[in-house]
Chains A and B, each alone.
Chain A
């Protein structure tokens, strides 16, 4: 079980959080302009990487805020945590 440093609350147990899938997939501003393939790309395609992965997390049993996390999925090391809308601090 991780300890997650919520950018709004500080360090808390993983059980207070919910994982929300891959980060930085922006909802298209003009969905109607997209072909089926382009829309499917947004809707369905996720990377699911072994290694460094950018993820969304929600402090669901805390402040309920969403934030981003960079996590190495091979050893669960959390490399960085940053707020929604911010650029990832690591590559």
Chain B
């Protein structure tokens, strides 16, 4: 294990800066600039994890965000622990601790590996087919599955890091800073456009930047050196914003993109203090240039998943960029020229290349010549049929391909090796393009999907647009840029390019084997262990759509979204079904392109900033007086005020008694308030409420019920006529915004002829409600100038008055059934008025009460709460509130629906009172109501909507909705509970003071 495979000094890693880190508990060293993967490979570690289903040993396979296998858990058991981190992306820092996932008890001995031996019993859909039945066995399966599988552990303590959102508006966004992205950025920025260039990697230049070969030249310089100069130039441009370590997660319509910028993940933990960890960039770009490059394809053959098998391009990147050899005896399997490039790179660095196995029979390439010059054996027209080595590859077996590529012929040749590079050609990275709604076309000659039709102001350039070799990129990119950006020339119009690469390719989606398919393990999706056999099985079982095959076999459903294998899955499906590529659809790549942390998604909206909350002007007073709070919409409302260790029940009993026996005070400021003005205000109210409004005198108040057009109760509240053409409407606390929206909708769209103006004044006025037999005495002292006599100020009327210099509107209205006043004052004076009421009320034991007592008091009186006793299926008739529905009015919102065949049925659920036979038994809200428990199935008649113990009536009271309840007065019903049944009697919903004596007392 102590072997050092660092073979060459690289300018991209800082060898003067040694970094120590831990992997699975052991300490290792790498250099600044290494990724965890490159540092592990330098230490000769390939085995990093186990596969999901079969727990097969898996190694590092790629060098980027497409990695399916090398996903690790960082800083296990700490508050910064993070699962599913790709070792190929995370940069090492002093103190980094990583461990393998999906293995138990350890990566080297894994109990789930038994699944590998059982694999003939674990075909596609196995989990669906087996663990679903019988259902009662699930608990037993679950234990086994959860213990031995799973992708990492989520943190259990709060995230110590800080995240941010940033909005960016730009003229041009360029995604990807490879060679074509750099060319685009320079061209856009030099033409005066506000340009943003993002790349997921820590350094710019893509795969060209480390290309240092005689075979690839631009203007007579090695392509890497040429690009380096370009990069140095663009870094000086002012109107070009460059963000590295920034991965675009989503490309939405109208050029709206989301990207994650990593700011501290590469820093030692102690250097992250007071820094933002990650930013979610919300980018709105006038134009988008996608230059996301391409991903190398693996090849599908038996046992193609062993540690030590990497993409050829990854081997090249580890050697060129990090100076790391992935093996000392390398073999390549390829169907195109790319593996030759890698082999030449290795040879240059003195790394041994044993052989190249090429699917192609005839190869016309300058690269081949150079390889053969170096005495590397090239097996033309061969393929690999098997590999050996449990925790790392040690041998490959090759055979000759038949002419049609459908089978293998001749005898097997065995070669030993410690690393196998595979290249199946390239797949343009069209993920973001398809996310944006773009349509793809299939290019037959090299079997790739490329952009066909864009859905917004955008283009794809370079490899992601199908220009897969340097020559095409350099020749085509300037053309595309000029047309897209509407400019005459670029700096690249006369650039000379030389490349030895040849485009020829022999594409075989599933390489043949000397074994029957059923005996092979040819992995298509490495992370989810989906094999070619599974895909064929899915087809045999009748699945055709790629989306169905994908779900059945779980191909492409891992954290890597099948970036490597999806093309092969499509290829195998079309070959098997004998259809054209793309005919069964291409799978949809959904955002995010790479996983996002929750922290990035929520940004600063955590803790107390998760949602805004609204406070009344008396909020501080409630806090000082030990109120417990209840969330009502976004409001914090005082719920009850416990005294001397009272629990909620005790506090509410005390508050309710006080309100009825002497005086109570409630902060009702959260009620919605809408100021209504205009010459048609009365007509408007006539149309929106069920009752009549024209005859309401100025200075009077009226309760109104508002319906939806379907006849169902929507909101309620008291509206006061302040002047001839001026009303103030109150709405429920939660309904305020929606009621205003609905009224505006009618005014603007259905009745634009009405002269009515609506203004929300909920926040401008605070409301103090004082109720109880002594409320009159208290108010007469709070507002001495106001004549409170019944003649001057009867129930349901209103007065404009003053408390000292403070203007106030006082309504004599009641939601409790008690004699009661509501004082409305400008919000900033409210607390002083409240305190004055408390001061004066002291002699009368004035008792502050919260929403819970309010609910109890109104239930005693049989007043409904919209949203608690109603649920958008209750008409006023169902609520036994026929009295409020005008018979005379021709029309109002919802009127026609009140006599639809469904709403006039007798057996609708109707609101009734419920009294328990045992007066001390309190029903549970939401409990079901039935008539006969012996019937099977038991017929459900309704449910309890409100339930309290009334301290004033000294018995339990409840409201409920019951099918046909109106005609059940006095009938016995049953509430079945978990351990008992409760007997109740249907009663009048008004339990207290039916004659309204208290109101007028």
Contact = CB atoms under 8 A, between A and B. Distances in A.
Interface stretch (B303-311, B391-399, B743-751, B941-949): B743-751
Interface string B902-913: 000000000000
Contact of A2 (B253, B455, B890, B891): B253
Interface size class of A (residues with CB under 8 A): 20 to 34
Contacts of B268: none
A34 B752 CA distance: 23
Given A65-B748, A84-B752, A39 B741 contact: no
Given A36-B901, A40-B900, A1 B741 contact: no
Contact of B749 (A31, A36, A39, A66): A66
B254 A20 contact: no
A27 B253 contact: no
Interface string B897-930: 1001100000000000000000000000000000
B254 A84 contact: no
A18 B750 CA distance: 18
A60 interface: yes
Contacts of A3: 254, 284
Interface in A53-83: 56, 58, 60, 64-66, 75-76
Contacts of B741: 18, 58, 60
Interface string A2-42: 11000000000100001010000011001110101001100
B900 A32 contact: no
A60 to B, nearest CB: 7
A89 interface: no
A49 interface: no
Contact of B455 (A1, A39, A65, A75): A75
B750 A32 contact: no
Given A1-B254, A32-B890, A75-B437, A56 B749 contact: yes
Nearest to A44: B710
B254 A39 contact: no
B897 A39 contact: yes
Contact of B745 (A32, A39, A66): A66
Contacts of B750: 26-27
A80 B252 CA distance: 20
B661 interface: no
Interface residues of B, number: 23
Contact of A31 (B748, B895, B901): B895
A34 to B, nearest CB: 7
B869 to A, nearest CB: 24
A1 B251 CA distance: 10
Interface string B248-262: 000011101000000
Given A27-B750, A75-B437, A39 B253 contact: no
A58 B253 contact: no
Contacts of B437: 75-76
A43 B890 contact: no
Contacts of A31: 891, 895-896
Given A39-B900, A60-B741, A66-B749, A1 B253 contact: yes
Interface string B453-485: 001000000000000000000000000000000
B228 interface: no
Interface in B243-298: 252-254, 256, 284
B896 A34 contact: yes
B896 A32 contact: yes
B709 interface: yes
Contacts of A20: 745
Nearest to A84: B749
B752 A85 contact: yes
Contacts of B745: 20, 58, 66
A14 B176 CA distance: 27
A66 B710 contact: no
Contacts of B891: 30-32
Given A31-B896, A58-B745, A43 B710 contact: yes
Contacts of A43: 709-710, 897
B748 A84 contact: yes
Contacts of A26: 750
A34 B891 CA distance: 12
A85 B751 CA distance: 11
Contacts of A64: 744
Nearest to A66: B748
Contacts of A84: 748-749, 752
Contacts of B710: 43
A34 B900 CA distance: 11
A75 B749 CA distance: 27
Most chain A beta-carbon neighbours within 10 Å: one of B284, B437, B748: B748
Interface in B707-761: 709-710, 741, 744-745, 748-750, 752
A76 B749 contact: no
Contacts of A32: 890-891, 895-896
Contacts of B252: 1
Nearest to B282: A1
Contacts of B748: 65-66, 84
A27 B462 CA distance: 55
Contacts of B455: 75
A1 B897 contact: no
Nearest to A39: B896
Nearest to A18: B741
B283 to A, nearest CB: 11
Most chain A beta-carbon neighbours within 10 Å: one of B252, B254, B256, B897: B254
Most chain B beta-carbon neighbours within 10 Å: one of A2, A31, A39, A66: A31
A36 B900 contact: yes
Nearest to A30: B891
A80 B389 CA distance: 64
Most chain A beta-carbon neighbours within 10 Å: one of B256, B455, B748, B749: B749
Most chain A beta-carbon neighbours within 10 Å: one of B252, B896, B897: B896
Nearest to B747: A66
Interface string B826-860: 00000000000000000000000000000000000
Interface string B874-897: 000000000000000011000111
Nearest to B890: A32
B171 to A, nearest CB: 15
Interface string B493-528: 000000000000000000000000000000000000
Nearest to B740: A64
Nearest to B760: A64
A79 to B, nearest CB: 14
Given A20-B745, A27-B750, A64-B744, A76 B253 contact: yes
A85 B741 CA distance: 19
Contacts of A85: 752
Nearest to B167: A13
Nearest to A67: B748
A20 B750 CA distance: 14
Most chain A beta-carbon neighbours within 10 Å: one of B252, B253, B437: B253
Contacts of A13: 284
A1 B891 CA distance: 40
Nearest to B711: A43
Contacts of B744: 58, 64, 66
29 contacts: A1-B252, A1-B254, A1-B256, A2-B253, A3-B254, A3-B284, A18-B741, A20-B745, A27-B709, A31-B895, A31-B896, A32-B890, A32-B891, A34-B896, A36-B900, A39-B896, A39-B897, A39-B900, A43-B709, A58-B745, A60-B741, A64-B744, A66-B748, A66-B749, A75-B253, A75-B437, A76-B253, A76-B437, A85-B752
Interface of B: 252-254, 256, 284, 437, 455, 709-710, 741, 744-745, 748-750, 752, 890-891, 895-897, 900-901
Given A66-B744, A66-B748, 17 more contacts: A2-B254, A3-B254, A3-B284, A27-B709, A30-B891, A31-B896, A36-B900, A39-B896, A39-B900, A43-B709, A43-B710, A56-B749, A58-B744, A58-B745, A64-B744, A66-B749, A75-B253
- Which 10 residue pairs spanning A and B have beta carbons closest together? A31-B896, A1-B256, A66-B748, A76-B253, A27-B750, A3-B254, A39-B896, A2-B254, A84-B749, A66-B749
